[in-house]
Amino acid sequence: MSQEIKVGNITIGGNNPVFVIAEAGLNHGGDLNLALKMIDEAAKVGASAIKFQAYDSTERFGDNQEAITLVKPAEFGKKEFLALKERAEKQNILFFATPFDVENLNMLKEVGVPILKIASCDVCNTTLLEAAAKSGLVVILSRGTASESEIETAVSIFTKNKSPFILLHCVSSYPMKDEDANLAAIGTLKSKYNFPIGYSDHSIGVQVPLLAVAAGAEVIEKHYTVDRGLKGIDWEISAEPKELGQIVTESEKIRKILGHGKLEPQASEQEEIEYRDSLRRK
């Protein structure tokens, strides 16, 4: 059983309910009202948290004008994040974001997020990892694209700084083919580390993230939109509210079916135990 991590009144890891993150990402397109609606709908279906992205387009993509043009419209600043955090608190859903640079990491700390998520593209960005590890916040890191040695290097930064830490298995392809999911890696990571292990999903549909829960994931991150018909950058791999709710409810069923793993009789077996013990033995 992994070490548990407390975030407010939520406990992540161990035999606690799966921590389901609705990854709003850039699907709001910079429309604050749509982003607020995304929070409302995610809360309504029982998601544990909703996550956005904090970045400076030029800092993130440099001279790649095509990429800047794509993501610039969805760029939010401190004012927007404060409004989103306020709405999330009213809806009783945890709010946090992915910073793509140290400046935005510090801005998110000022906003008051309890968690930082570091994206797979920054798994080798030691400057950002060090800043996150020293932030005093819970840090979630996706390991997409990373080799075993690169994962160990990243993890060492957080263990060295005694930072509360969660690692997500991830495959950085969009959309990910189901056969590339390699969900057995979740068990490999759980055998190596005692902090919570989860899964960040880029597949179409909800089957793969649910299988990840069956494979032992304690955290599920799923791209999310209120309506795939709105398109957006990640619309194809995004769950609509009903599907997000399915991940929440089915994950809890799977967790209960998996059980605690102890080699001991269940309470429901007591009558059968008494019957067994009452049998006449020669």
pLDDT, one tens digit per residue, over 162-204 is: 999 999 999 999 999 999 999 999 999 999 999 999 999 999 9
Q: How confident is the model at residue 32 (pLDDT cuts 50, 70, 90)?
A: very high
Give me the pLDDT at residue 35, please.
98
Whole-number Å distance between alpha carbons of 239 and 205: 7
pLDDT tens sequence across 219-238: 999 999 999 999 888 899 99
pTM: 0.96
Could you give the maximum distance between any two Cα atoms of the chain, in Å? 85
So where are the chain's domains?
5-278
> Could you tell me the end-to-end alpha-carbon distance of the chain, in angstroms, rounded to an integer?
42
- Asked whether the predicted pLDDT for residue 281 surpasses 90, the reply is no
d(CA 221, CA 116): 13
The residue assigned the tokens 């399915």 is 246
Percent of all residues in the chain with a pLDDT value above 70, rounded to a whole number: 99
- Assigned CATH class of 5-278: alpha beta
Q: What is the pLDDT of residue 282?
A: 60
